[in-house]
Chains A and B, each alone.
Chain A
Amino acid sequence: MAQATELVQARTPRFGRGRWFGTESRREAVWGLIFVGPWLIGLVLLTAGPLIASLVLSLTDFNLSNPDAVRFVGLDNYAAMASDPNVRQGLIATVKFAIIAIPLTMVASLGVAVLVNSPKLFGRNVFRTLFYMPIQIPLVAGTLVWIGFLNPETGWLNGILKLVGLPGPDWLNSETWIYPALALIGLWGIGNFMLINLAGLQSVPTELYEASRIDGAGPWTMFRRITIPLMSPILLYNVVICMITTFQYFVVAYTLTNGRGDPNNATLFINLDLYREAFQYSRMGYGAAIGWLLFVIVLLLTLGLFAFARKRVYYAGGEA
């Protein structure tokens, strides 16, 4: 028990002063590079080329319908974004959605994970499977389910609201209700975050709970004092990934709202604007520039999150 408590309180001294690591830091570096090797090879062979190519494209007027006539335009695309109302609308819509969707996803996925991890729950393997299931629905089917489910005329949701005497909103066609509707649909996508949280919960040594129970701690205290700190690396992962994917969000909204960003551009998320410019309007050079703008924004936010997490995330194995 004492040992376990120590595990939480005291930081393990930095590893690497061991026999062959510490004495030969070069050898450690070689090992590190060997393990990272597969990714590095892939980066050089497959990923880096297209990445750099897209950056170069963003400095051109590359048009898909006339690829041979490409011209270098310097920073013109980036300058044009400043006065493009669609880019502004895209960023606003994305931020609005992110503010609702990220906290909701994080809280719901952790809550459900804790619930289905509880040994007190009967049939928890069934519960886990069923809570995970919606994310396994193929996109086209899932979209049609929601279109049908939310239809104000024959859908179930407004049918139920009517039964309890509430007016049913026009979920998909109202500029106000579309965000709650998308957040609701987004809740259906928490499966992977729930799964990751579930994996994270397994990394919390059970004896810590027992020790703390003997000290008279209630469930909430244990959750706050033990579960959250020990899961913090996993929670950081979830927040970072959720942010990255939310800023790239558009496919579900796009298929739900006639493939356009309806109603009245309320679902014109920045990545939809990118997609429209790059593919539908064939302006790949401009689309690439929007992509790189989005990249810089999200990268800064990610680095900010890491900086914020530096003091707050607890790595039992020490910072690498």
Chain B
Amino acid sequence: MNRSRSGPRGLMVAAVVVAIVAAACGSSTTTTAPIASTPAATTAAAPSPSLVNITPAPIPAGPGPNGGTVVRWFIGLGAGTQPAQIGPEQAFATAYNASQKDVYLSLEIVDNTQAANILKTEVVAGTTPDIIGPVGVEGLNLFRDQLLDLTPIIASTGYTFSGVDPKLVDFFKLGDNNAMVGVPFAVYPSFIYYNKKLFDEAKLPYPPSKVGDQYNGKPWDLDALRTLAMKLTVDKSGNDATSASFDPANVVQWGFDSALQDNSARAEDAFFGAGSFLAADGKTAQIPEYVKAGETWFNAGVWTDHFIPNQNQAASALLGGGGEFGSGNLAMDEGHTWFTCCVAPPKPAKQFDFGFAVNPLVNGTITSPLHADTFSILKSSKVQAAAFKAVTAMVASQALLTTYGAMPADTSKQDAWFKSIDASFPGIKLDWSVPQAMLAYPDVPNHQSWLPNYAKAKTALQAFQNKYRTTSGLDINAELTKLQATLQSIFDEPQAP
């Protein structure tokens, strides 16, 4: 064995390790590479194998490649993260950046499940994006304290909400003290989607598409909906839920649900009326009447009449693992306008014919729960004027409306949008008068409106929904009393400073 020289050599190796470490830390603080020199859309095509991408790129500060102010647009709190949406979003940014030289729009697309966490982390670190959206009321509630009141900037720029119903403009005054925290972009009234194929199979007439029309010679109300839904609920032997030999353990087709509604009681019940869990004093928890009536009806629909799927049925492969209406095995679904995103049946089945019907009367009145999407600017943005300029372009984009399936708040854009949705369903005649009519029956106060300690209150509401959908024979009134107590303790907790 040779005499070892490893002592000194060892020291050298160690020195090198230390040097690498020091270099890795040191260089990064001094390098000031320009921002994302490669817009996403172009680099995606060419996989450059070099590792140059590892060089540090600090948070954009200077001008973007087109010479404009860099504005960061954060996508993920709502729609916008599907592969089919990312392309058009990037295309919009590329086109916008080419069309003018004042603003450079830079995209940040974050998986929906983590988007809120990542945005919060960025807020604390001071690396906040400028624009968030598309985002609904739920998402805005989570970031209520951080949203910029747009009123001054709207006044100073002279921006007008052309074509938007003034009532709808008011709807976006969702911040503290009615601050206007979003530019109206999309509105989503809700109504009933029904699968015509399943109605034809049962030889049943379609539900009414005009307010005031009757169904089968009777008023189109909750009872009519229940009876109809039960006839459309079928077990594997072909018995419907009104038949004595119906087997609830082997259901293959369900009559009704209020799917993709945020898994929350206050959302799925919202066509029963409007109300708030927060009393007028702003402190006391209450159970609104519409929720009491709605949950009793839903609970019976799931466990007694079996026309609404329970949790396990909704999650089963038969109902598309949660994409219930699109599976083709749900006859009617109370859904919003954005829901045209999700009516396509699993491939390669051909699109089934479907239609829109008005919401049923509940105690003599119709309620159409309203959703809305907007783009908001964060208070912390240092480039608010540039961000507002970009937002006005975004809300005016027909391409983005189509991509998100977003019904324009601007009535002058609605016809073009209806046509763009029709184009994705060739051969199907959708009755757009239904959503237009339903816009006249919004739920006020809105079912998504803010509550104290919002995220925690929402968790409690969702846990309640989950419990009744997984537990047979629940005493709904007792559970609602418990929910009220839980909400009260959540409302009573100290708020954010």
Contact = CB atoms under 8 A, between A and B. Distances in A.
Given A37-B18, A65-B496, A281-B455, A151 B463 contact: no
Interface of B: 10-11, 14, 17-18, 21, 25, 113, 116-117, 120-121, 123-124, 143-146, 263, 311-313, 315-318, 321, 453, 455-456, 459, 462-463, 466-467, 470-471, 496-497
Contacts of A63: 496-497
Given A65-B145, A282-B120, A41 B462 contact: no
A147 B17 contact: no
Interface string A222-246: 0000000000000000000000000
A264 B467 contact: yes
Interface string A33-61: 01101100110010000000000000001
A8 to B, nearest CB: 29
B346 to A, nearest CB: 14
Interface in A246-296: 258-265, 276, 279-282, 284
A45 B453 CA distance: 37
Contact of A260 (B25, B146, B313, B462): B462
Contacts of A282: 120, 455, 496
A71 B496 CA distance: 11
Contacts, number: 98
Interface residues of A, number: 40
Interface of A is mostly: loop
A280 B459 contact: yes
Interface of A: 34-35, 37-38, 41-42, 45, 61, 63-67, 69-71, 144, 147-148, 151-155, 170, 173, 258-265, 276, 279-282, 284
7 contacts: A34-B14, A154-B318, A170-B312, A260-B462, A265-B463, A279-B120, A282-B496
A34 B11 contact: yes
A39 B232 CA distance: 66
Nearest to B10: A34
Interface of B is mostly: helix
Contacts of B17: 37-38
B318 A276 contact: no
A264 B21 contact: no
A38 B21 contact: yes
A259 B117 contact: no
B311 A264 contact: no
Given A65-B496, A148-B317, A153-B312, A263 B467 contact: yes
Nearest to B454: A281
A269 to B, nearest CB: 15
A135 B380 CA distance: 41
A65 B25 contact: no
Contacts of A152: 312
Contacts of B146: 65
B462 A65 contact: no
A263 B25 contact: no
Nearest to B317: A154
Contacts of A154: 316-318
A60 to B, nearest CB: 10
Nearest to A277: B456
A152 B145 CA distance: 43
A58 to B, nearest CB: 15
Nearest to A63: B496
A65 B313 CA distance: 38
A42 B20 CA distance: 12
A67 B124 contact: yes
B395 to A, nearest CB: 25
A279 B120 CA distance: 8
A147 B315 contact: yes
Given A41-B18, A65-B120, A173 B462 contact: no
A153 to B, nearest CB: 4
A64 B459 CA distance: 18
Contact of B466 (A45, A69, A258): A258
A261 B466 CA distance: 11
Contacts of A265: 463
Contacts of A34: 10-11, 14
A279 B497 CA distance: 16
A261 B462 CA distance: 11
Nearest to B144: A65
Contact of A262 (B143, B321, B466): B466
A66 B466 CA distance: 31
Contact of A45 (B25, B263, B316, B463): B25
B497 A71 contact: yes
A236 to B, nearest CB: 29
A78 to B, nearest CB: 16
B470 A170 contact: yes
Contact of A173 (B145, B321, B470): B470
A37 B113 CA distance: 39
Given A63-B497, A264-B467, A276 B459 contact: yes
